[in-house]
């Protein structure tokens, strides 16, 4: 999709399949409050826009859209008016919701060339860069098509996609809007990469596939990303007994993938380590899942997909921060060598873990990955994992649960997610739940019982410790949905990429 910001002397000359024009709720098209593009569009249609809005009851509420054929009065074939909500409540979050509705409608109209008559950025408490980034990122995310394998032979005729996205802005905003468009598209491309990875069949998205993609991303980073790959032999030397135990039942070899981004000048103002659960398929192991529970377990590497995609975006944006992405990639299968309930595993940091349930494998892989990150000098750790089904009892499918050992850092993560439209519930970690993971046989057991998401977080906290700020995001509720929500499609959502990039931006400042 090509993006461009430009100035036009008249909306009439703007060539597009659809011209998007925003209107605040309860305001007409006279431009009295600075909505000059809305006024121009109405004048060009000889007042028919305002008349149609009145006849169909269009008020300008967020989510409302109204299409109108221009009958040759403009170079654009149609004008699509969309609601921005009440002016006094407008901000960037509301704007994103508004353009989601507008862009979904434009795609439904099969528009390939979309033009947007930019609104006054100050009216949504933003700037030209923010408007450009929001529009480009949401257009690319909404334009996403699942990484499917349909064929023309099977009757697939293809979907209509956006080819061009143009913003009409005032002359003084062109440069910053164009920069926002470029960065927004880079961000969305990484979100879509994470979606592709989690949507791919597990027979294709194997640990080896993740290794190859990490190397490809590094090769395309202009030298800013370095990759270390640790195989079974190397992991055994490190003492990664928990991670290797999970991998025992699979014919696919496990790998610990370490990607390190360093700014081009070699200097960084801060550091962030991201750890992503990367179980490329989870059968449940010998405590095997029922068929319905196993059907979409290709998504169990969504945390790893998000971290890999985020470091790609951070490199593309050239942020002034050192960022490490750690992924312990494996399958959890039922082969003859599979680890068993009752086994006692020795983790990389020396703690022993009794296997209470082989389907609580994610926390075992993360335990060793977190210890590895600490050995590499992590000063802040955020992990993302499709860890527990129980998290849905708290947040449904609209948010993830955040757990942390440092209030300041946890609040930073949650506010970064909120700023990007990725909701989080900050869950208290009451100390009483820590003991639920204790074992008679070993230091810990890998399933502490209810409340499942909290006891799982406490298990990970034993490995994160208390000295390094750490946050765990349980994204099992939002990484993969059965419905469209906001800019997300059905299936994999790429949840977490935008939060991680926002975190890196804030720390870099």
Tokens representing 385 are 């994992």
Query: How many CB atoms are located within 10 Å of the residue 367 CB?
Result: 28
Q: Which residues partner with 364 through β-bridges?
A: none
Tokens representing 474 are 């349980």
The answer to whether 289 is a known catalytic residue is yes
44, 32 Cβ separation under 8 angstroms: no
Tokens representing 29 are 């098209």
User: What angle in degrees, to the nearest 10, is found between the helix axes of 128-142 and 92-108?
Assistant: 40
Listed in order, strand segments (DSSP E) in 40-163 are 65-69, 78-83, 113-117
Please pick, among 363, 374, 461, 462, the residue that the annotation labels catalytic: 363
H or E segment and range at residue 371 = helix 362-375
282, 298 Cβ separation under 8 angstroms: no
Please pick, among 289, 340, 423, 481, the residue that the annotation labels catalytic: 289
Question: What 3-state class would DSSP assign to 107?
Answer: helix
* DSSP 8-state secondary structure symbol assigned to residue 350: S
CA distance 454 to 434: 9
Residues 6+ apart with CB under 8 A from 29: 23, 35, 38, 39, 41, 42, 49, 50, 53
Q: How far apart are the first and last CA of the chain?
A: 30
The answer to whether 363 is a known catalytic residue is yes
Place of tokens 């989690």: 198
Q: Which three-class secondary structure string do you get for 424-443?
A: EEECCCCHHHHHHHCCCCCC
Which residues are marked as active site? 289, 363
């Amino acid at each position: 999709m090509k993006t461009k910001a430009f100035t036009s002397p008249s909306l009439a000359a703007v060539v597009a399949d659809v011209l998007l024009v925003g209107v605040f709720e309860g305001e007409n098209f006279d431009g009295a409050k600075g909505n000059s593009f809305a006024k121009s569009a109405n004048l060009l249609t000889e007042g028919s826009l305002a008349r149609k809005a009145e006849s169909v009851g269009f008020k300008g509420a967020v989510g409302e859209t109204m299409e109108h054929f221009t009958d040759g009065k403009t170079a654009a074939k149609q004008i699509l008016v969309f609601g921005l909500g009440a002016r006094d409540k407008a901000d960037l979050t509301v704007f994103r919701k508004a353009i989601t509705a507008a862009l979904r409608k434009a795609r439904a109209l099969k528009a390939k060339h979309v033009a947007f008559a930019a609104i006054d950025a100050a009216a949504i408490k933003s700037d030209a860069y923010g408007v450009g980034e929001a529009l480009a990122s949401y257009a690319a995310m909404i334009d996403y098509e699942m990484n499917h394998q349909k064929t023309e032979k099977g009757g697939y005729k293809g979907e209509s996609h956006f080819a061009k996205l143009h913003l009409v802005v005032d002359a003084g905003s062109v440069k910053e809007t164009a920069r926002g468009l470029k960065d927004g598209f880079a961000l969305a491309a990484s979100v879509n990469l994470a979606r592709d990875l989690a949507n791919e069949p597990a027979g294709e998205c194997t640990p080896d596939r993740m290794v190859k993609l990490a190397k490809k991303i590094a090769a395309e980073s202009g030298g800013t990303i370095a990759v270390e790959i640790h195989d079974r032999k190397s992991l055994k030397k490190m003492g990664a007994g928990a991670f290797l135990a999970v991998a025992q039942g699979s014919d696919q070899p496990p790998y610990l993938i370490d990607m390190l981004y360093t700014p081009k000048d070699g200097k960084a103002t801060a550091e962030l380590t991201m750890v992503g659960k990367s179980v490329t398929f989870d059968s449940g192991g010998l405590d095997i899942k029922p068929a319905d529970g196993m059907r979409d377990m290709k998504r169990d590497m969504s945390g790893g997909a998000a971290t890999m995609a985020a470091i790609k975006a951070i490199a593309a944006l050239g942020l002034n921060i050192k960022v490490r992405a750690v992924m312990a990639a494996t399958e959890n299968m039922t082969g003859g060598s599979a680890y068993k309930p009752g086994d006692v595993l020795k983790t990389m940091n020396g703690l022993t873990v009794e296997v209470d349930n082989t389907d609580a494998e994610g926390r075992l892989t993360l335990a060793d990955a977190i210890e590895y990150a600490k050995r590499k000098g992590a000063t802040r750790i955020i992990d993302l994992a499709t860890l527990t089904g129980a998290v849905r009892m708290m947040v449904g499918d609209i948010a993830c649960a955040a757990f942390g050992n440092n209030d300041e850092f946890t609040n930073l993560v949650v506010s970064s997610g909120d700023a990007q439209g990725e909701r989080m519930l900050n869950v208290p970690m009451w100390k009483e739940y820590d003991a639920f993971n204790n074992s008679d046989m070993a230091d810990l057991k890998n399933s502490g019982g209810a409340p499942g998401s909290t006891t799982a977080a406490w298990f990970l906290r034993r490995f994160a410790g208390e000295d390094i700020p750490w946050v765990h995001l349980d994204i099992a509720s939002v990484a993969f949905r059965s419905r469209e929500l906001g800019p997300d499609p059905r299936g994999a959502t790429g949840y977490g990429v935008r939060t991680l990039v926002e975190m890196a931006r804030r720390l870099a400042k």
